[in-house]
Amino acid sequence: MTTVLVTGGAGYIGSHTCKVLKAAGYVPVTYDNLVTGWRDAVKFGPFEEGDLLDRARLDEVFAAYSPAAVMHFAALSQVGESMVNPGAYWRNNVVGSLTLIEAAAAAGCQNFVFSSTCATYGDQDGVVLDEDSVQMPINAYGASKRAIEDMLENFGASHGLRSVIFRYFNVAGADPEAEIGEFHQPETHLIPLMLDAITGKRDALTIYGSDYDTPDGTCIRDYVHVMDLVEAHVQGLKWLESGKESRVFNLGTGTGFSVREVVAQSSAVTNADVPVIEGNRRPGDATRLVSGSRRATEELGWTPDRSTLPHMIADAWRWHQNGHYDK
């Protein structure tokens, strides 16, 4: 069976990817330093603990497994944190990714699937965000991901590295079987924060900013079910395995929902009130981020069938009631 090295495979998206890779006949090897990932989430293949900045450790893992491809999820990913501590994002995300890419190239691993973000586009209100939209990141998180995209293009020209880059919009939901799910410490994502408020794990959900130029004053985002998202990654891997050239794909549904709309839907799905308090805007948050692209559907055959708010919230709620991880 084909082996795939999954960096960040103990995290939210990486662990779901490992589950889908195993079901598709691959051997996912998780490489994770467990700073934000969870050992309990590694259920679907071998685990190798290590840091992206440790070139010697990466070389050991490449030599041990000879992976045919890398799926790269490992990254710091909190927008607010990136505004106050940009150095951590440039060091971990950019220097770490450079170390990984150099190790892959040295090992002759030529297929690379990269987890990027719609945050590379910045705040472009009124613009349909497709893969050719200008990239103008407004925070260090988005800027670091943009730099890695450029890096992959450079290594494609110099070393023949072929990559599929996915720029996601907001990821939500959980494994429908509740075997794995979304669990962060501290938690920063809207839906789990909301479910925490419903269950009393926190006093209330804070809405950061109610004066945006949107119909109800709150930010608008395009939400994608995590299982739809990871299916796209397997399709991207198959794209590279078939010999096709490097490509960038947005992963979004083309439909945006405001924070207040997500709150209302969560209340409807769980049949419970969501306690809410209103706070100030957070630096680095864009007003509206919605995909206008169908490239992934047309070229990969990707269909985000699970990516409706009721479906995403219901799966997240199932995990939230029973799921937790330990290191």
141 is catalytic: yes
- Got the DSSP string for 44-76? SS-EEE--TT-HHHHHHHHHHH--SEEEE----
Nearest residue to 80 via CA among 321, 286, 295, 320: 286
Contacts of 308 (CB under 8 A, 6+ apart): none
Report the number of secondary-structure helices (H) and strands (E) in the chain.
11, 14
Encode burial over 248-268: b for 16+ CB neighbours within 10 A, e otherwise.
bbbbbbbebbbbbbbbebbee
Find out whether 258 and 215 touch, Cβ atoms under 8 Å. yes
Nearest residue to 31 via CA among 48, 56, 18: 48
User: Residue 320 is encoded by which pair of tokens?
Assistant: 């939230």
Q: Which of 65, 141, 168, 223 is catalytic?
A: 141
Active-site residue numbers?
Answer: 141
